[in-house]
Amino acid sequence: MDETTAVKPEFDYGVFSYASKEEMLEKSKEYWNPGKTQFWLDSGVPLVIDRREEYFIYDMSGKRLIDAHLNGGTYNLGHRNNEVVQAVTMAMQHFDIGNHHFPSLARTALAEALVKSAPAGLNKVMYGSGGGEAIDIALKTARHATQKRKIVSIIKAYHGHTGLAVGTGDDRFSKLFLSDRPEEFPHVPFNDLVAMEDALRGRDVAAVIMETIPATYGFPLPDPGYLQAVKALCEKYDALYIADEVQTGFMRTGELWGISKTGVTPDIMVLGKGISGGMYPIAAVLASDKVAGWLTEDGFGHISTFGGAELGCIAALKTLEICSRPETRSIVHYIADYVGSRLREIQALYPDWFIGIRQHGVIFGLEFAHPQGAKYVMKHLYENGVWAIFSTLDPRVLQYKPGVLLKPEVAEELLDRTELAIGRAWAEVKSL
Amino acid sequence: MSEMTLEPLMVEPAGVPRGRAMVERADWAGRSYARYDAATVNRIVEAAANALAKHAQEFAAQAVAETGFGVVEHKVIKNLGCSTGILETYRGHNYVSPEIDEANKIVSIPRPAGVILALTPSTNPVATVAFKILLALMTRNAIIISPHPMAKKVCADAARVMAKAAVAAGAPDGVIQIVDDPSIPLINALMTDERVDVIVATGGTPVVRSAYRSGNPAIGVGPGNVPVLVDDTADIAKTAERIIDSKAFDNSILCTNESVVIAQDAIADKLLAAFVREGAYILKTEEVEAIRKVVFPGGHFNAKLVGKDATIIADLAGIRVPAKTRVLVAPFDLVVPEEPLAHEKLLPVLGFVRVPTARRGVDVARAVLRITGSGHSAAIHSTNPSLIMTFSAAVPVLRVSVNVGNSLGASGFQTHLPPSMTIGTGFFGRSSVGENLQPKHLVNYTRLAYNSDVREVMPSFVGLNPWTSPTGPVPEYPLASNEQQFIETHNVRTPLTSDVAELRDEIRRLIVEELKELMKG
């Protein structure tokens, strides 16, 4: 082809290109996921993330959004965090995914770093390639250790979509694939210790799995003392306590691990999402020696080619180091303080609409007085340059998750935009 | 080990990202601190100054041990002067509250710089750290200290003691931070970081020049090379005592220490004799040559001898001097660039030049300052106001100490100049500040200016204060919002300090009690 006459596509990404956003969306429906693609078009959020940096994402149209969803904390340190990018880029000169059969340089290094930073007693690390697989590993480990099968979780819990994990969650995701197994996965109401004790009383439960704050349910906060009491019940009835820290780990609560703040020492802890700065998929399970016996009995018991990929380990090592800095902890406390007080000011403007703020650190669930309230707020936030998502399992509640390294001026801008969007959503809902 | 190819891709040396994190933290801290009221600021300044003063002796000894130079008892004086001394000097000053000028219909609202990056020297390590921290605190700025590597440990200890006291008194977390491992790439990264609002650089010329090149606002001060003129009207005994005390102070490692004495012939011998009575040793011609070789080997100043005792230097030059010798006086003839002894000497060797007339002495003082020290300081010992005026109007410096040792004279500890560890060298010395560094240099004012038309009346602004006092630790410790409510309903005492361990213990105790009740039921 004559290069001088070739028309350069508008969206050229090197190895692929699109002529327009419309073409891209058509192909997304045709070749990828028609349901999901259409859902966002119908929701008033026609977002196709193109450029991304720090806490900003840009739609293909060039529209800039402040990311206050972070894909569940995946982009906790911002998009393409410079330090993580440098660490992974450097590592690619020497490492690849690695070979799961053998002792591994990077897996061992990350395991040591995680154990040293984790609540006391968690001293073995197992890897998955994502949060769902890590949950499966945690559940299998609990079953092996206790030789019991039942796993208790919370109604409206969400721990992922893999084989076992999906059983712990809402029916919506298990029944679709004929994967619901209520006899093995009893669900109890959140913050209900009587129901929890009833579920455990038979001593046939391998483990209780708890998100430290249930994310997809809109971050309802555990009552003070609830998690401690669940842990005590686990001890009483010989069940293990699995802390799902996928959305509460890595400084999101203002301490490295959300569970540490409760004083509960879990038997197993699951990490994902924010673990690797959003640069390389990896997830991890930490367990005490006492429950991680299968690693000695049959070290090949769980195999994952991509689980613990060495490039991911290096991304995670850097992420862990950044999150562990005293500066980061201080900054998170400032952000939590600032965003919390600004949101309370906004709440005072719309007390009949913006009816609740659930906050722990930089984790926020914002409650609105309409069964689908958060969907309206999400749409107006999008129109006003902020990306935050409604809670799938409680669409009254908006998940609002600022990053742990948010700069003060971006935080101010985020709240200015948020105030406007909440007001406009209220006007729309009132006019319905 | 296998062949590693990682090194060339290392874009940033370790420590640089951590430095950036410090700037980010300082940015948050500074924004909070900029809203504090005067009473709280005073309490914080007082706490930080007193905390340092309590350790004045310990840090003086630690600084001498770590750097290998200076005099412990003199450093104690400087440490006190730069902590409680600064506190007293500026007691009653206010860089926080709005000022009302009714006649001109102008209200001035103090606005801090934000984030100060302070570079501090090895020669006055703790004193400079304390000084800059207190100035930052008085003006509601956050400060990051990058200490000289030779004194990094003692500086870090000193800064942390002050930071802890400041935060306990209500200051925002992170308002004082210090770099533990300073390096050139880290300092460059900090200096060029656009979140830094002003750099206050004290140190060698290269550091000061790079501060100015950084693109950020900077206050840098250059080196000194202090000429001292003594004429035939001076009180010789007192002059000798002042000069030798000053030159011996902290073994002459201050930039304000005397460099060359210029004595009128008529009193020169008398002055030398008086120097001897004060503990100086007058070097003979061949001994002067030996000192040149030791102090300026190959024509370059031997930095290893900075702040060493006079007896040690004499010993190295093979000169026998009395054990109590505090200063070595080195007579020479001509102040020219190729004469090493006419250059700045941060050790107790004092140049000595004779001049036939006082008028000729003024020219020699100018010659000393042509070598280095423009904009810095000079001293004169005389009772002749006409000469003092002629001298002061001729030398290219911004302070002339009269009948006082220059060490503590130019720095304001024995004169009524603002006491300072940072001597602004102004336009003569290529600096943005010509005064001794003081709090006012770290604050700007928003001026609210009314229409000058007499018909437009300015209402009263008396009693309007835009600043507030924090009600607890800043930032607040992030408890879950329902825990926060729990605290409120259970009347848990909230400590003012940012130390949350206490609070969390209390909450845990209450929760355990409630749980016990719950489990019973």
pLDDT tens string, chain B, 521 residues long: the values are 344 444 544 567 778 999 999 999 999 999 999 999 999 999 999 999 999 999 999 999 999 999 999 999 999 999 999 999 999 999 999 999 999 999 999 999 999 999 999 999 998 899 999 999 999 999 999 999 999 999 999 999 999 999 999 999 999 999 999 999 999 999 999 999 999 999 999 877 888 899 999 999 999 887 899 999 999 999 999 999 999 999 999 999 999 999 999 999 999 999 999 999 999 999 999 999 999 999 999 989 999 999 999 999 999 999 999 999 999 999 999 999 999 999 999 999 999 999 999 999 999 999 999 999 999 999 999 999 999 999 999 999 999 999 999 999 999 999 999 999 899 999 999 899 999 999 999 999 999 999 999 999 999 999 999 999 999 999 999 999 998 887 777 766 555 454 566 666 777 777 777 766 666 64
Given a contact cutoff of 8 angstroms between Cβ atoms, the answer to whether A304 and A139 are in contact is no
- Is B27 within 8 Å of A90 when comparing Cβ atoms? no
Q: Are B239 and B271 spatial neighbours (Cβ–Cβ below 8 Å)?
A: yes
- Chain segment A385-411, per-residue pLDDT in tens: 999 999 998 999 999 999 999 999 999
Average pLDDT over residues A156-168: 94
User: How would you label B468-504 residue by residue, b for 16+ Cβ within 10 Å and e otherwise?
Assistant: eebeebbbbbbbbbbbbebbeeeebebbebbebeebe
Helices B38-54, B125-138: axis angle to 10 degrees equals: 170
Chain B residues lying within 8 Å of A336, measured CB to CB: 475-476, 478
Tokens of B462: 């008396």
All residues of chain B having their beta carbon less than 8 Å from the beta carbon of residue A224 are 480, 482-483, 486, 507, 511, 514
Q: Do A331 and B24 touch (CB under 8 A)?
A: yes
Answer whether A361 touches B (CB < 8 Å): yes
Q: What is the mean pLDDT of residues A305-318?
A: 97
- State mean pLDDT over A331-354: 98
Q: Does A405 touch chain B (CB under 8 A)?
A: yes
Shortest Cα distance from A179 to chain B (angstroms)?
35
Chain B interface includes A328 (CB < 8 A): yes
Residue of A nearest to B501 (CA): A261
Residue B75, amino acid: K
- In chain A, which segments carry CATH 3.90.1150.10? 43-73+326-430
Q: Which residues pair with A243 in a beta bridge?
A: A210, A269
* Among candidates B24, B29, B511 on the partner chain, residue whose Cβ is nearest the Cβ of A224: B511
B contacts of A89 (beta carbons < 8 Å): 9
Residue A350: count of CB within 10 angstroms of its CB: 16
Of the candidates B194, B221, B193, which has an alpha carbon nearest to the alpha carbon of residue B208? B221
Assigned token pair, A388: 């935050």
> Residue B5 has what pLDDT?
47
Among candidates A131, A74, A54, A128, which has minimal Cα distance to A252? Answer: A74
Which sign, positive or negative, has the C-alpha torsion A62, A64, A65, A70? positive
Element (H, E) at A339: helix A326-349
Distance CA A347, CA A342 (A): 9
Tens digit of each residue's pLDDT (9 = 90 or more) over B430-452 = 899 999 999 999 999 999 999 99
Residue type, A199: A
Q: Rounded to whole angstroms, how far apart are CA atoms A395 and A376? A: 10
Q: Which pLDDT does position B492 carry in this prediction? A: 63
CB B397 within 8 Å of CB B377: yes
Q: Is A229 on the interface with B (CB under 8 A)?
A: yes
Please confirm, yes or no, whether B255 is among the known catalytic residues: yes
Contact B359, B232 (CB under 8 A): no
Kind plus residue range of the DSSP H or E element containing A62: none
Residue A1 pLDDT: 46
DSSP codes of every residue in A81-136? -HHHHHHHHHHTTT--S--TTS--HHHHHHHHHHHHHSSTT--EEEEESSHHHHHH
End-to-end CA distance of chain B: 64
Note whether ipTM > 0.90 here.
Answer: yes
Determine which of A90, A333, A341 to mutate to test the interface with B (most B C-beta atoms within 10 Å): A333
pTM score above 0.90: yes
Residue B252's alpha-carbon distances to A312, B83, B311, B398, B409, in angstroms, are: 56, 21, 14, 21, 14
Q: Domain A83-324's class?
A: alpha beta
Please give the Cα distance from B312 to A221 (Å, whole number): 70
Q: What is the pLDDT of residue B519?
A: 61
Q: In what order do the strands lie in the sheet with A389-391?
A: A354-360, A363-368, A394-400, A389-391
Q: Indicate the burial class of A431 (C-beta count within 10 angstroms; 0-12, 13-18, 19 or more).
A: exposed
CA–CA distance, A287 with A293 (Å, rounded to integer) = 10
Looking at the partner chain, which of A325, A328, A359 has a beta carbon nearest the beta carbon of B481?
Answer: A359
- Please, are residues B378 and B369 in contact by the beta-carbon 8 Å criterion? yes
Rounded to whole angstroms, the Cα distance separating B159 from B177 reads: 7
Token pair of A88 as six digits: 């992974």
Question: Distance from CA of residue A32 to its chain's centroid?
Answer: 23
Q: Do B6 and A221 touch (CB under 8 A)?
A: no
How far is Cα A275 from Cα A257, in angstroms, rounded to an integer?
12
User: How many angstroms separate the CA atoms of B26 and B116, rounded?
Assistant: 9
3-state DSSP assignment of residue B376: strand
Of B115, B62, B384, B87, give the one whose Cα is nearest residue B233: B384
- Locate CATH 3.40.640.10 in chain A: 83-324
pLDDT of A344 over the 70 cut: yes
CA dist., res. A419 & res. B450, Å (int):
33
| Domain over A43-73+326-430 is classified CATH 3.90.1150.10 | yes
Distance CA B500, CA B481 (A): 16
Q: What is the Cα–Cα distance from A96 to B149, expressed in whole angstroms? A: 39
